[in-house]
Chain A
Amino acid sequence: MNVGRLFWRTPTGAMLWEIWGRNKANFLWQAAALAAGFFFVGCNEHGASRDASANWAAAAFSCFLLAYLHLLVCCGYFEVDARTMQLSYPRRLLFKPVSTARLALMPMFLGGIITLSSFLIWTELVLRHWVNFTPSGLIWISAVQLSFFWWIQALAWSFPFPMGRLFVLIVMGIIHFLVWHMAQTRADAWSGWHWPILFALLLSALSVAWLGLKLMRRGKWESPSRISLFWTRWTYTAAQGRRQQFRSALAAQFWLEWRRQGLLLPAVSGGVACLFIAVAFLFRKISGTAGQSGDPEMAASLITFFVLPTLAVPLILSALLAPLMASFDRFHSTGELPVYIAVRPMSNGGLVLAKLAMALATSALTCFVTAAACLCLVLPEKGILFSKAGLVTPFGPVGFMTGCVPVLLLLVIWTWKNLVAGIGAGLTGRTWISVAFSLGTLYVVNFGPFLLVDTARTNVNFREVLLHWLTTILIACLAAKITLSITAFVLGVRRNAITARAVGWMAGGWLVCGLFVAGFAGHVCNEIHKPDVWIWAGLGGFLILPLTDLAIAPLALAWNRHR
């Protein structure tokens, strides 16, 4: 009797096989990431300098981490429900003659075993020896990670209401972090307690998954909730009086884009900013200086730990959310255009313009929210900021606030740039292009200049050569960028993918923003008494602002729309 073959015919075997069957292509990507990681490890071992060694190690670490996180997703047993377009348990399995407990527990145990063993192997064989990363309490970290992984599975499979799911997930993430952190840093006080708490978390994850699937099997969440029905009816009634037709097709498309993802970035940025405000409030309370404006150290800490991170939030989040920008329907399962958009009589350039306009509107709103949050953060310390810290004294409060406007504009432009960079790759609707572009951006565009600067820092000769040629290099890059963009625009116009007017908007916008960034850079260089670097900052500004991406986007969309 062939026991191995019989095993694959059992429900457990079939479920295990599905992880492999569903993710064969994904495993190839992981293999590629691992190969890249090993390549960087190899670079590290072959006589790299101390600084370069740290960079290679960081690159290797990020590759391994990427592969590992991807493995977690593959083993999660998630599937996008074709009906609701939300992450869910594979619905077809609910109709198999298998108990709910087995449906819930098998994927959890299988996924847990695969990911945990990978994590342990990775840590022991790779990180500990090659990248010199030695996590303490490996078993404890693995157990906490398993618990969080199970919670992700339990919530993603069956928990209704996407926003509620996200909220519970964040809460569970914080709880797991606290459990891990307290056990690491308060080992004495927590001695004997951390394991029971973790077991409770593990058991509750299993229970939530089991109960969720049981309710799902009974069709408990098939119909919309009463709250959802009430909300839909209320918004319909409220909009009755003021409903108007859209002024144009572009306005309608902008509305669709805005409704899909316009509020996502402002909401998430606002949420994080609120968190910062709350923590800053607690910080003041704990420091005992609440209401005592006038402590310069407090003002400096406030700016370093809260205001600057708050300003960085839109930039970081916009870079993270950029892949969503290319999708027309966040919940659409494939990269293809939804039919209801593909058959509308609108040019590809028009569809792209609506996206760019929405990105600009959402960036502006996000930065407005961020500015408001910064104001809330600095108001309690306004006395010291405006008088004693010397930061704004030369300009006075009004001058300072006026001076903030260009900074805010710069923030808007930068956020917008992050959102739309890569839109061309995303609009092709081909996953492999998007992934290749993301990796290319990560390792070539970001890591390349970083390596260049790092080498220049340690190697004097190289630095001198680089500084001598830097202006030429930047001008050559800019010329290449403009040539590529013009070629793409001409192709787009010839192929009817974009109108000359849209080209004017895109190129004009780029020029205006570029001039603004260059002017701003010039002003800053002048203020810090380094006018000779102005040309580099200005050229860098023009280079960073997306133009080729925008020029390629209509062609990329045409390639997706007319396959």
Chain B
Amino acid sequence: MKFPSPSSAEAVIAVSGLSRHFGAKAALNDVSMFVSRGSVLGLVGENGAGKTTLIKHLLGSLKAQAGSVRVFGLDPVLDPVGVLGRVGYLSERRDLPGWMRVDEFMRYTQAFYPGWDEHYAAQLLEQFQLDPAQKIKTLSQGQQAKIGLLTALAYRPELLILDEPSSGLDPVVRRDILEAIIRIVAEEGRTVLFSSHLLDEVERVADHVVMLQHGRVVLNGRTEDVRGEHISAVLAFAEPLAKAPVLAGAHAVTGFGSEWRVLFGGSHLELEAAAALIGARVVEERTPTLDEILVARAGGKGS
């Protein structure tokens, strides 16, 4: 299943033909994607794939050099107030005012959002076990991520954008943050876009996934569909091979001797046909994880 069309009124995010260069390097190259209301989109890709650059365009921190970006139908560069008032954002860089106390930062942030829910903020404060009297610079990395998330959630934004929310955090804090996101989705049905290279998180939370590679969209669809369109299989050959076989449709081939594992993009029948063409038979197959797909896509087809 594909995302809604650009004309859909339900599209919270509509990116079309977006390109961005930093000097000679193309950070984003003709990226198009649409996020419908109420969906949870996982933006995945290796480091430097362009995830943060894309998110910065959605927030209006970067101006599109080519193409267009619309959030709630508005241009985030021309109407930052209209867009940012409806977006909650947690940055990968914990760029917080270290000199403020936790309570001061909450009070400061509250002033910008008429929909700030004090009761919910207090509840999150307690849930995240944050001390309001503590200075932000004295908080641990995990606590800083939590206060960032708290101030992004407390006004119940229509769209929540999380850029590597669990980057550099321990499993306990990652779990806390993921649970908060899951609760928002389950209870309030809000739209969430979050980037991560920890794909087990994405599989757990996202119903849609967009994979970026070298600034291009290489995968775009429902998480289950993306997984279902790939097969992780073991091919057996009659004779041991000195080098990796070339299999049409395979994203990665690893192994040695007469047994080779392939990550194949296509159906079971297509895999069998392709294997037969190179004199192999399929001895094992299963649905791959997102992690395996990303590694295969990013790592190329080497052995």
- Residues of A near any B CB (own CB < 8 A): 83-85, 223-224, 232-233, 235-237, 243, 245-246, 248-249, 251-253, 255-256, 259-260, 329, 331, 338-340, 342-348, 495-496, 561-563
Given contacts A232-B134, A347-B81, contact A245 B96 (CB under 8 A): no
A224 near B96 with CB under 8 A, answer: no
Verify if B186 is at the interface (C-beta below 8 Å from A): no
Closest Cβ of chain B to A33, distance in Å, is 28
A339 near B62 with CB under 8 A, answer: no
Verify if B61 is at the interface (C-beta below 8 Å from A): yes
A342 near B132 with CB under 8 A, answer: no
Verify if B175 is at the interface (C-beta below 8 Å from A): no
Q: Which of A237, A346, A348 contacts B112 (CB 8 A)?
A: A346
- Residues of B near any A CB (own CB < 8 A): 59-63, 77-85, 87, 89, 91, 93, 95-101, 103, 105, 107-113, 132-135, 137-138
The CA of A101 and the CA of B135, in the complex, are separated in Å by: 34
Closest Cβ of chain B to A240, distance in Å, is 9
A-B contact pairs, 18 of them (CB 8 A): A85-B98, A224-B138, A232-B134, A235-B101, A245-B111, A255-B108, A259-B100, A331-B98, A331-B99, A339-B89, A339-B93, A340-B96, A340-B97, A343-B84, A347-B81, A496-B78, A496-B79, A562-B77
Closest Cβ of chain B to A248, distance in Å, is 7
Q: Which of B80, B95, B107, B138 contacts A338 (CB 8 A)?
A: B95
The CA of A224 and the CA of B137, in the complex, are separated in Å by: 9
The CA of A339 and the CA of B61, in the complex, are separated in Å by: 9
Nearest A residue to B75 via CB reads A496
B97 near A236 with CB under 8 A, answer: no
The CA of A347 and the CA of B83, in the complex, are separated in Å by: 11
A232 near B133 with CB under 8 A, answer: yes
Chain A CB count within 10 A is highest, among B80, B87, B100, B107, for B80
A248 near B87 with CB under 8 A, answer: no
Q: Which of A233, A251, A260, A561 contacts B60 (CB 8 A)?
A: A561
Contacts of B84 in A (CB 8 A): 343-345
B59 near A343 with CB under 8 A, answer: yes
The CA of A155 and the CA of B132, in the complex, are separated in Å by: 33
Nearest B residue to A496 via CB reads B78
Given contacts A495-B78, A562-B62, A563-B61, contact A245 B93 (CB under 8 A): no
Nearest B residue to A248 via CB reads B111
A345 near B98 with CB under 8 A, answer: no
A245 near B110 with CB under 8 A, answer: yes
Known: A252-B111, A253-B111, A347-B81. 10 other contacts (CB 8 A): A223-B138, A237-B133, A259-B99, A338-B95, A339-B95, A340-B96, A340-B109, A343-B59, A345-B80, A562-B61
Contacts of B133 in A (CB 8 A): 232-233, 236-237
A236 near B107 with CB under 8 A, answer: no
A252 near B101 with CB under 8 A, answer: no
The CA of A338 and the CA of B107, in the complex, are separated in Å by: 18
B135 near A224 with CB under 8 A, answer: yes
B101 near A249 with CB under 8 A, answer: no
Contacts of B108 in A (CB 8 A): 246, 252, 255-256
Given contacts A84-B98, A345-B81, contact A236 B113 (CB under 8 A): no
Closest Cβ of chain A to B103, distance in Å, is 7
Given contacts A252-B112, A344-B112, A496-B79, contact A563 B87 (CB under 8 A): no
B81 near A232 with CB under 8 A, answer: no
Closest Cβ of chain A to B80, distance in Å, is 7
A236 near B111 with CB under 8 A, answer: no
B95 near A340 with CB under 8 A, answer: yes
B112 near A345 with CB under 8 A, answer: yes
Given contacts A224-B138, A346-B81, A496-B78, contact A232 B101 (CB under 8 A): yes
Closest Cβ of chain B to A82, distance in Å, is 10
Nearest B residue to A350 via CB reads B81
The CA of A178 and the CA of B91, in the complex, are separated in Å by: 51
Contacts of B61 in A (CB 8 A): 342-343, 561-563
Nearest B residue to A328 via CB reads B97
A345 near B78 with CB under 8 A, answer: no
Closest Cβ of chain A to B39, distance in Å, is 22
Closest Cβ of chain A to B52, distance in Å, is 11
Closest Cβ of chain A to B95, distance in Å, is 4
The CA of A458 and the CA of B132, in the complex, are separated in Å by: 68
A236 near B112 with CB under 8 A, answer: no
Contacts of A344 in B (CB 8 A): 84, 109, 112
3 nearest A-B residue pairs (beta carbon): A252-B111, A345-B85, A236-B133
Nearest B residue to A256 via CB reads B108
Contacts of B60 in A (CB 8 A): 561-562
Contacts of B62 in A (CB 8 A): 562-563
Closest Cβ of chain B to A228, distance in Å, is 8
